[in-house]
Structures are given as C-alpha cells and as structure tokens.
Copies of this chain bind each other. A is one copy, B any other.
Amino acid sequence: MLQISDKASRMPASAIRKLVPFSDAAEASGVKVYHLNVGAPDIKSPDCAVDTVVEKCKGMHHLSYTNSAGLMELRKGMVEKYYKKIGIDIDASEILIDVAGSEAFSVAMQIAANPGDEIIVIEPFYTNYQTFAFLYGITLKAISTDIREGFKVPGIEAFEAAYVPGKTKAVLLSNPCNPSGKLFTKEEMLQIGEFCRVHDLFLISDEVYREFCYTDEPHFSAMNIPGCEQNVILVDSVSKRYNLCGARIGCIISHNKDVMACALKFAQSRLCPPVLGQYASIGALDTPQSYFDEVKQEYIRRRDCAVEELNKMPGVFSPKPMGAFYTVAELPVDDAADFAKWLLTEFRLDSETVMVTPAASFYRNSEDKKNQVRIAYVLEVPLLRRAMHILSEALKAYPGRTV
C-alpha cells in the first residue's frame, strides 16, 4: 500500500494554524472573527520599504537569483543602518539572509545539533521550535517557568539539571518571548551565556521581537554577552520589526566562522532568499525612529488594554508582558483547545466571536498547561476592547467553565 512516511505522518500540525478551518467556516457563514490567534500585526509597513520595491521593479529586466547569502546591499545596509545603531557590532560577512526567521532558527538548530542530540528551551516557547526539532530528530529539554511568577527564568541549577553531557548542544530561546511576552533581563542572559560558555553549548537567540520592549532598560542582545562570541547564533527577521511578515526575510548572525560557513551550505541548497522581499528590506532600513516610537506606544496601549481586561474577568490571570505583542492567560476552563474551538463553532455575540491560540503546544508536556491561551494583541484598542468583551461573555456562557 502506498504510504506517506512515518515522519511526515507523525509531524505535529501547527497549533497556531490548526483552528483555521473553523475560523474560515465561521467567517464564511458571515460571523466576524476577532483574530487574537496569530502574531500578524495590522500596522502599516514603512513607506520606504514598499517604495523601494516599486523603484527596483521599475528598472527591472528580469528577477534573477541573488547570492545565496543575500544581496550584499542588504547585508551591509543591515550592519550599518540597523545593527550598529542598536549596539550589535558585526561585519557583513557575519550575516546571512534567510527565508524569514523560520529558516534561520531551523538552520541554526541543525548546525548546533545532530539527530539524537538535545537542545534546552525555556517553556513556554515558540511552538515551531518543537516542529523543527521533531523533523530533525532533536529532543527539546524544557526548563519550566511559572505564569504566576511572570515567567521568571530559574537559577543556574535548573539549567545544570537539564544538561546531559555529550547530548545537550544548545540553548534556544526567544527574547522577547513568543508566546509569553517575557523580556529576559541582562542578568538572566548573562547567566544563560555563562552556562553555554562553561559547557561549550551554542546559544541560539531568536530576537525577532527586539523592537517591542516596554521597559526603560534597553533590550540586551545575546550578541553582547562577554565571552560568548563563538557560542551565540542570532536569529532575526524583518517581519515584525517593519510589519513586513509577507516579505519572508530573516537572517542568521554569528561571529563563529564555522557556523557561518555551514549556514552558507544550507543557503546554497535552496539557491537564494526571496529577492522582492530583500528589496523591501533594503528600503525598510531607512525607516525613521519615529515609526518605531509610535508603534511601541501603540502596542503599550494595546497591551495595557488586553491585560487589564483579561484580569478583570473572573478566574482569568495574565501577567503583564514586557515585550513582543503576546500575553499568556490562564482561563477558568479545563481545556483551552476545546474552548478555542467552541468559540469558533458555537459561541456568537451579535454575530461576532474571537479566535485565540491554546497555549499547551508552547510547552514540552502539553498536558500541563491546558487552561492557558496565547493572546496576540494585534488589534487597535477599540477592536481589542470589543474582542475582550466577547471573550468575557464567552467565558460566562461556556459550558466547560471550571470555576
């Protein structure tokens, strides 16, 4: 009998996207769905990004391949106009353009770990780390954090306990964190860096939400951990920073020459990154600071609205996130996956409902946190307030409510 591979068949479906058929059906039947389920911002892309695509298209003879590592104009531009400004000191040879952050962390994981090896993650973590680990035969070892403690990173002993000599090859984290919105402090990053240095582990630092930090402290990049220059592999992306999710442009950055040489082999195997997206990214480098300032203020308003409204709902708890545009909330339900599906298939408030992402898939052991959801606060405040109202009413009406 013709059979698909066991690997493909056991591959986990995206927790974030697997409810999509239900929201499609709701929308097809005329229901308005407030999408709090996916980190797809609604903020205008910078004009300079789109204008550059138009300009480059106008003079174009044919849309050819670029260097596998990306256009030198983009790599140099990122170094000079972006990384230098935020205090990350790299050379253009230490940056390679990838097909968004997804390709960048997927390649970084393979550079760090063989099939059978382990990578330490701090849960909750971005669910697709688990998907790629599965595909590459890598085991994720999770270090727990507690929603009630604001997802504080535990002390070094938790990392030591997770470490298996000869097996553990890297620590992988996102800072600010998707899904929790947790912003790692400088002290936490230094501790993790020291752990990686002592045990010769790679530190894969996914910093695609770097521009979304809501404390007075500047974001502390893994690239600036002293003594970790060879250990750190930085994963970055233009998707969130410039509201260019569809450009599919990210990068892998490292001072480690062996890492970059391997990243180039992976890059060559898929020929080149999307060229029109590279053009948009070149243009985006001229985005004025005022754009970031305004966007940040907007997200602070949204976060404050979302978190305040959530905590007003009986039985709901969400800590105040200091980064990204997500928050994780505990709901008074047994199984947030059932609840999320019920919202899409059953519940309507004046023909409207909301879509949220069950958070269990952001944990290694998904039985643990079945009452949590991830909320992406990617709607304007009035819409977000309405969405929160619908969620609140839904929780009152939900037959599976626990408290």
The answer to the question of A194 belonging to the interface, with a C-beta cut-off of 8 Å to chain B, is: no
The answer to the question of A156 belonging to the interface, with a C-beta cut-off of 8 Å to chain B, is: no
Pick the interface stretch among A60-68, A176-184, A213-221, A390-398. A60-68
Given A99-B270, A245-B64, A248-B99: A2 in contact with B231 (beta carbons within 8 A)? yes
Closest to A275 in B: B246
Interface mask (A1-14 → B, CB under 8 Å = 1, otherwise 0): 11111111101111
Pick the interface stretch among A49-57, A339-347, A369-377. A49-57
Minimum CB–CB distance from A217 to chain B (whole Å) comes to: 29
The answer to the question of A400 belonging to the interface, with a C-beta cut-off of 8 Å to chain B, is: no
Judge whether A200 and B99 touch: CB under 8 Å. no
Given A13-B268, A269-B102: A113 in contact with B5 (beta carbons within 8 A)? yes
Judge whether A61 and B40 touch: CB under 8 Å. no
Once bound together, how far apart are the Cα atoms of A8 and B280, in whole Å?
31
The answer to the question of A27 belonging to the interface, with a C-beta cut-off of 8 Å to chain B, is: no
The answer to the question of A42 belonging to the interface, with a C-beta cut-off of 8 Å to chain B, is: yes
Once bound together, how far apart are the Cα atoms of A270 and B7, in whole Å?
17
Minimum CB–CB distance from A38 to chain B (whole Å) comes to: 7
**Residue among A41, A64, A201, A247 facing the most chain B CB atoms (10 A cut-off):** A64
Judge whether A131 and B17 touch: CB under 8 Å. no
Judge whether A110 and B5 touch: CB under 8 Å. yes
Copies per complex of this chain: 2
Enumerate 22 A-B pairs (CB-CB under 8 Å) in ascending A order.
Answer: A2-B230, A8-B110, A8-B265, A11-B265, A11-B266, A14-B68, A17-B268, A40-B65, A41-B62, A43-B62, A44-B61, A45-B63, A50-B63, A53-B53, A53-B57, A62-B243, A65-B245, A99-B99, A99-B270, A135-B269, A245-B271, A246-B274
The answer to the question of A103 belonging to the interface, with a C-beta cut-off of 8 Å to chain B, is: yes
Judge whether A1 and B200 touch: CB under 8 Å. yes
The answer to the question of A111 belonging to the interface, with a C-beta cut-off of 8 Å to chain B, is: yes
**With contacts A7-B114, A102-B271 known, what are 5 further pairs, Cβ within 8 A?**
A5-B169, A54-B58, A63-B247, A65-B245, A276-B276
Closest to A202 in B: B2
Judge whether A135 and B115 touch: CB under 8 Å. no
Task: Across the A-B interface, give the 7 residue pairs with the lowest CB-CB distance, nearest first.
Answer: A246-B275, A276-B276, A274-B274, A14-B268, A63-B246, A102-B270, A8-B262
